[in-house]
């Protein structure tokens, strides 16, 4: 009877070989799981201490470095972002990730082999082998993709951020010249349709945009400009038709045509334009950014579009083009514009004036500043980077990327001031440059005196009384001209 009673128990347990195969499978799965969670722990568990300790120490060191970076990011955000954005750092991270990924794959395969798959059943070998392959493909693929992301970032920064700008604050502010127009691959012959200076408070990030019309005449070259001798009384031509001759937007082409006068710069047209804008506004330019509007729609699509409250319908197309005006951007609240429609909203000329067009371009810039979110940049970085390489060049050095990003984040919560130097404020064919400089100084002083989002005035403006408004054109906030949807 005892023998009979014991028989079912032996049958339930199975033969020793079957139990051994099950143990080998479980052991293999556990060792691979340990490697996924803590690389090197599987090797330590089975006695391969040298390899296990090396892998574990490497893993813990990486975690410690990441924690230190994140902790330093709080008090030294600008510096840490600048360190990360350096091409040398990104190149190092690119190859480091590949090396770590290869090491992790080898540890995982070693963990699978340590379970001795020869002792598993056929089914067990298939299960453990397929799991090992899936984990290897996932981990290796992630390492390859991350390495590619670092390579893309490094390539973007190397191509776009050419360096050479000045990081020295100008009376507590950073002044950035934004040039927008249609350009070819080498950007030679560009005639900027949009010339705007963003003057940014170095403490609060509060920004004032100063826009100059492309048809401004007599634009003055400073005394130290190589072109001052040719145009001592400003950029002007004695010709019958001034409709498209010797205007402000033609200074770029003038600089390119006289590139021998600018031997130390890659972008003579930008340098010539920058010097004229500085003299016109009475502001020292820290950095410039040049945007090719032909590729602009790709960038808008990459960030998921923008939303605007539009008060007036805007035509798509040109009366002089082969298709004529073939569509409209209709007015409305919270209108979402993709890249195509945002580009036409910014550049459309028909049934409008250059001055109204300037306001629409500033509205698009304001929308991008306020609606672009960090999570969008992270999740769509590849598309943004691809667009950025094609449409943007700037002399902002990589060491100052963190500073500008920091100010941009602060400025998102602040009202943005706007000045358009258009009639009736000035007459473009005979501008009052003294008035232009006075308005610039008054608007900056007024902006610094206004309360910030925290309820206090900007520190840099505390000693300057708030001036009275002298013109509706110069005191209108951008949100009143073209409201950015919340």
Specify the long-range contacts of residues 372-377, CB closer than 8 Å, at least 24 apart.
372/303, 376/303, 376/304, 377/303
Q: Residue 421: which of 363, 471, 346 has the closest Cα?
A: 471
Q: Is 212 inside a domain boundary?
A: no
Residue 265 to residue 79: CA distance in whole angstroms: 27
Split into its structural domains, the chain has a count of: 2
Together in a domain, 154 and 180:
no
Sign of CA dihedral 247, 196, 345, 332: negative
328 and 185 co-located in one domain? yes
Q: Per the domain annotation, does 138 fall within a domain?
A: yes
Pair (25, 132) in one structural domain = yes
Tokens matching residue 340: 């195509």
Do the Cβ atoms of 35 and 42 come closer than 8 Å? yes
Same domain, yes or no: 52 and 183: no
Last residue of a domain, one of 98, 128, 160: 160
Domain check: are 110 and 180 in the same one?
no
Closest to 208 (Cα-Cα) out of 482, 478, 483, 438: 478
Q: Distance (Å, rounded) from C-alpha 113 to C-alpha 51?
A: 15
Exposure class string for 67-83: b at 16+ Cβ within 10 A, else e: eeeeeeeeeeebebbbb
70 with 194, same domain: the answer is no
Domain shared by 451 and 473, yes or no: yes
Decide: 170 and 283 in contact? Cβ < 8 Å.
yes
Same domain (yes/no): 144, 188: no
C-beta separation of 208 from 419 below 8 A: yes
Is there a single domain that holds both residue 146 and residue 202? no
CATH number of the domain bearing residue 317: 3.40.630.190
Contacts 24+ apart (CB under 8 A), 87-92: 87/154, 87/157, 87/158, 87/398, 90/150, 90/151, 90/153, 90/154, 90/157, 91/150, 91/151, 91/154
Q: Is residue 263 one of the residues assigned to a domain?
A: no
Over its length of 486 residues, how does the chain's per-residue pLDDT go in tens digits?
Answer: 444 444 444 444 456 666 777 788 888 899 999 999 999 999 999 889 999 999 999 999 999 999 999 999 888 888 888 888 888 999 999 999 999 999 999 999 999 998 888 888 888 889 989 999 999 999 999 999 999 989 888 888 887 788 888 999 999 999 999 887 765 443 444 567 778 899 999 999 899 989 898 889 999 999 999 999 999 999 988 766 555 568 898 899 899 889 999 988 888 999 999 999 999 999 999 999 887 766 677 778 888 888 998 888 899 988 777 888 899 999 888 899 998 999 889 888 888 877 788 778 878 877 876 776 655 665 566 666 666 566 678 898 888 888 888 888 888 778 888 888 988 899 988 999 999 999 999 999 998 887 655 555 555 443 334 444 343 434 444 555 566 666
Co-location of 340 and 194 in the same domain: yes
Tokens of residue 64, six digits:
């410690």
Range of the domain at 122: 15-160
Q: Are residues 52 and 197 in the same domain?
A: no
Maximum Cα–Cα distance across the chain: 124
């Amino acid at each position: 009877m005892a023998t009979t009673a014991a028989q079912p128990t032996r049958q339930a347990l199975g033969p020793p070989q079957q139990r051994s195969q099950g143990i080998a499978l479980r052991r293999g799965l556990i060792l691979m799981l340990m490697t996924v969670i803590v690389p090197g722990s599987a090797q330590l568990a089975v006695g391969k201490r040298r390899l296990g300790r090396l892998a574990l120490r490497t893993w813990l060191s990486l975690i410690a470095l990441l924690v230190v970076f994140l902790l330093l990011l709080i008090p030294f955000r600008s510096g840490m972002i600048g360190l990360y954005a350096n091409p040398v750092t990104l190149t190092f991270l690119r190859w480091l990730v590949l090396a770590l990924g290869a090491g992790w794959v080898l540890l995982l395969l070693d963990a699978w082999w340590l379970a001795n798959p020869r002792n598993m059943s056929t089914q067990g070998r298939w299960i453990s082998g397929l799991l090992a392959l899936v984990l290897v493909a996932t981990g290796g693929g992630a390492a390859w993709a991350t390495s590619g992301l670092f390579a893309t970032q490094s390539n973007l920064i190397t191509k776009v951020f050419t360096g050479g700008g000045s990081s020295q604050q100008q009376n507590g502010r950073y002044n950035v010249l934004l040039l927008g127009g249609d350009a070819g691959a080498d950007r030679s012959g560009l005639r900027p349709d949009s010339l705007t200076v963003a003057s940014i408070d170095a403490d609060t990030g509060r920004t004032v945009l100063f826009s100059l019309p492309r048809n401004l005449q007599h634009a003055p070259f400073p005394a130290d400009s190589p072109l001052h001798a040719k145009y001592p009384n400003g950029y002007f031509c004695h010709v019958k038709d001034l409709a498209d001759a010797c205007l402000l937007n033609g200074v770029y082409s003038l600089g390119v045509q006289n590139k021998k006068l600018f031997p130390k710069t890659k972008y003579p047209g930008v340098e010539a334009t920058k010097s004229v804008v500085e003299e016109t506004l009475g502001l020292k330019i820290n950095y410039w950014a040049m945007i090719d509007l032909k590729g602009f729609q790709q960038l808008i699509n990459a960030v998921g579009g923008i939303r605007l409250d539009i008060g007036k319908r805007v035509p798509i197309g040109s009366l002089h083009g082969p298709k004529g005006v073939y569509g409209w951007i209709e007015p409305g609240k919270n209108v979402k514009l993709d890249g195509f429609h945002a580009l036409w909203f910014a550049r459309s000329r028909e049934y409008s004036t250059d001055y109204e067009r300037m306001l629409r371009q500033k509205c698009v810039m304001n929308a991008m500043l306020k609606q672009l979110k960090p999570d969008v940049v992270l999740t769509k970085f590849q598309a943004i980077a691809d667009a950025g390489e094609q449409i943007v060049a700037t002399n902002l050095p990589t060491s100052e990327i963190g500073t500008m990003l920091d100010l941009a984040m602060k400025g998102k919560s602040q009202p943005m001031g706007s000045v358009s130097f258009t009639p009736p404020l000035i007459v473009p064919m005979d501008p009052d440059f003294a008035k232009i400089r006075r308005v610039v100084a008054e608007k900056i002083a007024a902006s610094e005196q206004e309360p910030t989002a925290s309820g206090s005035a900007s520190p840099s403006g505390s000693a300057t009384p708030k001036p009275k408004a002298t013109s509706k054109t110069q005191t209108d906030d951008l949100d009143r001209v073209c409201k950015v949807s919340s």
